[in-house]
Amino acid sequence: MKGKINISIIGAGNVATHLGIALHKAGYKINEVYSRSIKNATELSDKIDAQSIDNVSKLSKSSDLYVIAINDDGIIPTLKQIEFKDKVFVHTSGSISMNVFEELNFKNYGIFYPLQTFSKDKSINISEVPFCLEANSDPTLQLISNIAGSISNSINYINSEQREVLHLAAVFACNFSNNMYQIAHGITTENNISFDILKPLILETASKITTITPQEAQTGPALRNDQNTLNKHIKKLENKPDLKEIYKLISNHINSTRKTD
C-alpha cells in the first residue's frame, strides 16, 4: 500500500532530510528530491533511493504527494514555478498560512508541519514528533493523516491561525531557550569552566515540565526576589550590555509572573 504512494520532496535542508529519510524508511517511494543546489539534492536523494533535480520544471508529475520543505521565503516563489496544480501539495512551515496554495490556484493542498527542531547532524526519533496537519478537503486530510501516522504517533489537527500561535510559542520554547544555553556556554567557556557541568541541569530543567508546569518548576534568584544575587549577577555582566539587558528583562518577567499569575 505504502509502496504505491509516490512522494516528491522539494527541499534538501534539515526538515526535508529528516522527513525524506523517515518516509523512505516507512516504505514510501520517493520519486525525487529538488534543491536549487544539485549537490544538496543528491546528498539526500542518495540516501533515499530517489532522483535529484535542481529545476522545479523537472518535477515528476506522477507523485501522489509533493512535500515542500524549504525556507519560508522560498515557498511562494517555488509554488509559482509549478504548472500542474491538481496534485496534492503540502508545506512543512509553522508560520505560512494554507492560503498561499489557494491564492496560487492549487486544488488539493494542506499543511504537514513537524513541530520539532531539526539539525542535520542530530538524529531524532520521528515517531515522537508531533505533526500538525491541515488540508482543504477531507480526502487530502485523510491522505496526509495516513502518511504522517505511518511515521509518527502524534497526529494533531491544527488550523492555520492556531499554527501561527503555536509557532510563536515554539520560538520561545525552543529557539529562545537554546539561546539561553548559548549564553551559558559563552559564560562558562570564557571562564575556563567546561560547559559539560551544565548539561544535567539543562536536561533536568526540560524534563521537569513533563510532570509539573513551568510555573511550578521555576526556581532561582529572580523568583525568590533575591536582590543580592541579582545585583551580583548584573555587575558581572557590566561589560556585556546585551546580556545585562536580557538578564534584567527576564528576571523582571519571572518576578512579575510570580506576583500576578
Judged by CB under 8 A, the chain residues 58 through 87 that form the site for a second copy are 71-73
The answer to whether 206 contacts a second copy (rule: CB under 8 A) is yes
**Binding-site string for a second copy from residue 122 to residue 141, where x marks contact by CB under 8 A and - marks none:** x-x---xxx-x---------
Q: Which of 81, 207 has the CB closer to a second copy?
A: 207
Listed ranges 27-35, 41-49, 59-67, 118-126: which one lies at the site for a second copy (CB under 8 A)? 118-126
Longest dimension (CA), the chain: 67
Q: Whole-number minimum distance, CB 87 to a second copy, in Å?
A: 27
Nearer of residues 47 and 233 to a second copy, judged by Cβ: 233
Edge-first strand listing for the sheet containing 154-157: 51-53, 29-34, 6-10, 65-68, 88-91, 108-114, 130-135, 154-157
CB of 239 to a second copy, least distance (A): 13
d(CA 152, CA 142): 15
Closest CB to a second copy among 58 and 169? 169
Binding track, positions 169-198, relative to a second copy; x by CB under 8 A: xxxxxxxxxxxxxxxxx-xx--xxx-x-xx
Q: How far is the CB of 195 from a second copy (least distance, A)?
A: 8
Pick from 6, 14, 51, 150 the residue near a second copy by CB under 8 A: 14
DSSP 192: T
Show the cell assigned to 21.
529519510
Region of 26-34, 37-45, 59-67, 203-211 interacting with a second copy (CB under 8 A): 203-211
The per-residue b/e assignment along 52-74, b for 16 or more CB within 10 angstroms, e otherwise, is bbbebeebeeebbbbbbbbeeee
Cα–Cα distance for residue pair 163/115, rounded to 1 Å: 10
Show Cβ contacts of residue 255 under 8 Å, excluding neighbours closer than 6 positions. Answer: 222, 223, 225
Residues 147-166 that bind a second copy (CB under 8 A): 154, 156, 158, 162, 164-166
Work out how close the CB of 168 gets to a second copy at its nearest, in angstroms, rounded to a whole number: 5
Question: At its nearest, how many Å lie between a second copy and the CB of residue 249?
Answer: 6
DSSP H stretches of helix in the chain: 14-25, 38-45, 72-80, 99-103, 138-149, 160-170, 177-190, 199-208, 214-217, 221-224, 227-236, 241-260
Residue span binding a second copy (CB under 8 A) among the ranges 26-34, 100-108, 142-150, 226-234: 226-234
From candidates 37, 137, 146, 256, binder to a second copy by CB under 8 A? 256
Identify whether the C-beta of residue 4 lies closer than 8 Å to the C-beta of residue 28. no
The correct pick among 138, 200, 239, 259 for binding a second copy (CB under 8 A) is: 200
Cα 50 to Cα 63: distance, rounded to the nearest angstrom: 12
Please, what is the minimum distance in Å from the beta carbon of residue 83 to a second copy? 26
Given a contact cutoff of 8 angstroms between Cβ atoms, the answer to whether 10 and 50 are in contact is no
